Amino acid sequence: MKLEKRCQDTVRCDMETDLETALELAGAGKYQIFHCGLMVAILGSAILEMIGSSFILPSAACDLALEDHMKGIIASIPNIDALGRKPVLLVSTLLSGVIGLIAAFMPNLLSFALCKFVGSLFLSCPSSLGFAFAGELMPKKRRDLALLICNASLMLIASLCPNFIRSISTYLRPWRLLTMAYSMPLILSALWLTQAKESPKFLMMKGKPDEALGVLRHIFAFNNSKKRSDGQSCEAATSSKLSALALLKPPHLK
């Protein structure tokens, strides 16, 4: 059993090493900028939705018969963490935005709070997964810098959220319209996410090297402004003339 476990650990280590090399060959460029921008948009939309609740509740206090001591209780409800890659992130982001839209039509505090609570369960996924998903599409030597830029952009968005909310509130006086406006970035980010690719690391862990190679080809073609046809593949030129395809086959991948 110990020998088998050691062999599995060795194979996993080799696979991760080969994937990092393949990402290096695919390069870092326009696709990573597109992908990191998408993750920042999703994270920023999640922050806007969470911060927006503190502005909506005072405006909705009369319609929802909301007492002062209830505002703090609603705002302190914790989110539940979720794990996943593109499908989970897409579904959770879209459902969180749709539930936010539905909350705008709720007639009382209980139904409004239930919608917000259910939305927060889905909102926990984009809040926690965005950075991980952004990092998995970056070569190792540029991963820290990319995440640092994403984090700085997110902090900038968070600092600008109150000003953005204040400017929207000037034109959207009804709190129901304001609730809908805060949910729209999540829906738009979910639509944007449909153009992204799945994490090659996730595909490799699921035993799908061909699909992982397809993602790496797409990244290479996107970064080098080349169109990929069904019968052609983009090869990365290196000093040893290795390609990403060779790295995902034996003996590199056991």
The string of DSSP letters for 149-217 reads HHHHHHHHHHHHHHHHHHHHHHH--SHHHHHHHHHHHHHHHHHHHTTSPPPHHHHHHTT-HHHHHHHHH
Structure-token pair, residue 165: 């909310």
Residue range(s) of every CATH 1.20.1250.20 domain in the chain: 30-196
| 10-residue stretch averages of pLDDT, the chain, 254 residues long | 48 61 79 81 71 57 60 37 62 85 86 82 69 78 81 78 70 74 84 84 79 84 64 40 46 49
Structure-token pair, residue 97: 């935005």
The CB density around residue 2, as the number of other CB atoms within 10 Å, is 6
Token pair 């046809």 is found at: 229
pTM score, two decimals?
0.58
pLDDT of residue 175: 75
Note the CATH architecture for domain 30-196: Up-down Bundle (1.20)
pLDDT of residue 198: 83
pLDDT of residue 245: 46
Q: What is the largest CA-CA distance in the chain?
A: 71
Give every CB contact of residue 177 below 8 A, 6+ residues apart in sequence. Answer: 104
pLDDT of residue 125: 67
